[in-house]
Amino acid sequence: MDHLILRIRLIRARERRHQIRINLARIKKRTLRDTSDPFGVTEADFRQHYRLPKILARRLIDELEPYMRQPQRASAIPVHLKVLCTLHFFANGNFQKPNGRNYDLAMSQPSVSRAIDEVVNVMNRLEILQAHIKFPREEAARREVIHKNWLASRLRGVVGYVDGTHVAIKRPTEREDVFVNRKGYHSMNVQITCDSDLVILNVVAQFPGCSHDSYIWAGCSIRRRMEAIYNNGQGQLCWLLGDSGYPEEPWLHTPLVDALPNTKERVYTDLHCSARNAVERCIGVLKGRFMCLSKIRALEYHHVKVSKIVNACCVLHNICVEARLPDPDPVEDDLEDAGNEALSDDEHDEDVVREVDGGRRRVRRQLLVEGQRIRQRYLIDCQVVPEQP
């Protein structure tokens, strides 16, 4: 009996020593957080760690703070450190443990995980997303964007450019096959719509990697919005440009891949491809600035959280673009993943319609014919064929 009592006392003594070590570690980290100032580094170092300049980081903290859990204990992690910890993860794509060991943050791995969860969820609130990712709803706002795009591309009526890119993720434990893309790795297929200034107007980030660009387009909200603008526009010239992986529609125009040299069709296609390069550059800048989205940093999270991380990075991208921050070097290996192989008109009519529109091929054909008519009238016929040398 005495031996048993002695063992119990030893176990309790070990537990007390373990708890004391935990408390001392918490006190040490709290002391480090209280005495260190992440904003005390140089502007260049701060931007390297968090991608935002100090003034934009403070504005972001002030914007998110009303929606964050306020500290209830003296040892609680303050809001500004949670936000900076998340920015550091987005910027470098590191795993959470190295992120938490950053000398400016002094946070444990579980604290880092909880901080990223909280900040990502707050940045996916409707108020935050709508404040920073805005497709022009009013006609006057659309005209302004269309004019800006026309100055950049010399194509009429273009309100934006749309394309897809893959964000690598870990191998899911359920329905693993649907997340394998055509490149052979697991990913989310993200649809990005932007303007000529690389401002993201819309993002769709919830589709698995096997989804074709045209399938994502057929079911997304921006397509319904463009259709409504077309139906209610009474002749308003307003459309998007997409690559040949998208269907030709009255509100979405694609290039003519078989256009002959020295024709209006070839001039239009060259201008189309040059203008649509904006969305490819946008994707490259987005992934170059936030390395957590690059293929070499496959996100070790559930696909739902990955979608939220993509949305949060798009919010930060627009903040950087609107502040006219210099673009980072694009991630070239990820640019190859943008888009999908071209589809013929027959494939659009059969595959996409059967999968999304319930087999209504007649409607699909009508949209195709109307889209081709508009493309010919407003985008092709206005082009000037270069003179023969």
pLDDT the model gives residue 108: 75
Q: For the chain, how big is the Rg over CA atoms in Å?
A: 25
Q: pTM, whole model, 2 decimals?
A: 0.85
The domain boundary, picked from 90, 124, 158, lies at 124
From 74, 89, 124, the end of a domain falls on 124
How much is the average pLDDT of 225-253?
92
Please give the structure tokens belonging to residue 300.
Answer: 């070790």
Please indicate, yes or no, if residue 12 is contained in any of the structural domains: no
Q: How far apart are CA 263 and CA 241, in angstroms?
A: 20
- Token reading at 163: 């394309």
Enumerate helices (H) and strands (E) in the chain, giving the number of each.
16, 5
In this prediction, residues 340-364 reach a mean pLDDT of 54
pLDDT given at position 197: 97
Question: Nearest Cα to 194, choosing from 240, 125, 138, 256?
Answer: 240
Q: Which of 75, 101, 124 is the last residue in one of the domains?
A: 124
The residue among 134 and 93 whose pLDDT is bigger is: 134
Please check whether residue 166 is in contact with residue 189, taking contact to mean a CB–CB distance below 8 angstroms: yes
Task: Tell whether 179 and 102 lie within a shared domain.
Answer: no
Domain limits at 60?
A: 36-124
The answer as to whether 324 is a domain residue is: yes
Count of CB atoms within 10 A of residue 345's CB?
A: 13
Q: What does the pLDDT read at residue 147?
A: 96
Query: Which residues neighbour 261 within 8 Å (Cβ) at sequence distance 6 or greater?
Result: none
Same domain, 137 and 264: yes
Considering the domain boundaries, does residue 354 fall inside one? no
Span 147-171, average pLDDT: 96
- Inform me whether the pLDDT recorded for 173 exceeds 50: yes
- The pLDDT value recorded for residue 235 is 62
Query: Given strand 252-253, what is the order of strands in its sheet?
Result: 200-208, 187-194, 158-168, 239-241, 252-253
Residue ranges in 102-175 assigned as alpha helix (H): 109-123, 126-132, 139-153
Mean pLDDT of the chain: 85
- The string of pLDDT tens digits covering residues 298-342 is 898 999 999 999 999 999 999 999 999 998 876 655 444 545 555
Residues 117, 181, single domain; the answer is no
Q: Phi, psi (5° rounding) for residue 169? A: -135, 165
Co-location of 192 and 321 in the same domain: yes
Contacts of 233 (CB under 8 A, 6+ apart): none
Give the pLDDT of residue 352: 44
**Are 113 and 224 found together in one domain?**
no
Is it the case that residue 83 has pLDDT exceeding 50? yes
Q: Do 199 and 119 sit in the same domain of this protein?
A: no
SS3 69: coil
CA 19 to the chain's CA centroid? 42
152 shares its domain with 280: yes
pLDDT at 375 over 60: yes
42 and 187 both lie in a single domain? no
pLDDT of 28 > 70? The answer is: no
